[in-house]
Amino acid sequence: MELFNQVSLKVSRYITSSYSTSFTIGIRTLHKKLHDPIYSIYGFVRVADEIVDSFHNYNKAELLERFKKDTYLAIEEGISTNPVLQSFQLVVHKYNIDKELIEAFLHSMEMDLHNNTYNAHAYNEYIYGSAEVVGLMCLKVFCNGDEKSYQELKDPARKLGAAFQKVNFLRDMKSDFSERGRVYFPGVDFNFFTESTKKEIEAEIENDFKEALEGIKRLPIEARFGVYVAYIYYQALLKKIKKESACSIKHARVRVPNKEKFALLFASWFKFRLNYL
């Protein structure tokens, strides 16, 4: 059993490193004891996201429903032959991750199957389920049973997840619309996306980042630097987006090159060591 658990964790780790350089860098800068549980959370959310975003030649609704049932069964029984679900259920039980967080996440994945445009309510509901609750799952790991700290840090953690997701929405506008027909921002017509609308969204994201930073400063020391690195990376991505016109981000995906990511990592470490955070 121990060998299977180790293999399951390795699968989640491999999924993370294959799909996201930035999150892999962030996770590696966490304390070593936090690596496997965060990889396990990311592996779980990545597979669900891939079902709704990439499996175009298959019945996505049926696959997601099966994945959802298998998730709850794995948690209930404490075992799964699916390595991703096995590593995830281990983390759910060890860190007492609330079922409501898991349900909200899977619901947001279902929303992607049916919604192409979002009103303000659906937009907030989607961001909560797709991003904020993922931050809260990670916060459960970071706080490791300290419920008082978890409650105090919940709101900043949600703000950070929301900021990350909104940056992703801006970065991925082209692919979301052209490949999936989606526009997440409420009241926004992709074909008439204006500079003023873009600036409003950027200001909203900056406010989320500002509130999130106050929470990052109060995270347990084992988690603080890793989360700060992810925060700095997304800040850099937002700065690049702000330099682009509304028209250009509709036609090209903004990226932060790996070389620049490692430069940001070094600068963040230097700042962290000097207690500037």
**Is the predicted pLDDT of residue 82 greater than 90, yes or no?**
yes
Whether the per-residue pLDDT at 177 is higher than 90: the answer is no
Instruction: Kindly tell me if the per-residue pLDDT of 261 is higher than 80.
Output: no
pLDDT of residue 273: 58
Average the pLDDT over 261-274 and give the result. Answer: 63
pLDDT of 98-120, one tens digit each?
A: 999 999 999 999 999 987 788 99
> What span, in angstroms and rounded, lies between the C-alpha atoms of 14 and 247?
36
pLDDT higher than 70, residue 266: no
The Cα 140–Cα 149 span in angstroms is: 10
pLDDT (mean) for 198-216: 95
CB 250 within 8 A of CB 174: yes
Note the pLDDT of residue 176. Answer: 80
pLDDT over threshold 80, residue 165: yes
pLDDT digits (tens, 9 = 90+) for 7-16: 999 999 999 9
CA distance 275 to 91: 31
Hey, is 97 helix, strand or coil? coil
List the one residue out of 250, 247, 130, 125 whose CA is nearest residue 183: 250
CB proximity list for 105: less than 8 A, separation 6 or greater? 45, 48, 129, 130, 133, 134
What is the C-alpha R_g of the chain? Answer: 18
Residue 273 phi/psi, 5-degree rounding, is -65, -30
Q: Which two tokens stand for residue 26?
A: 């962030």
Architecture in CATH of 2-273 = Orthogonal Bundle (1.10)
Query: How sure is the predictor about 277, in pLDDT bands with cuts at 50, 70 and 90?
Result: low
CA–CA distance, 209 with 124 (Å, rounded to integer): 16
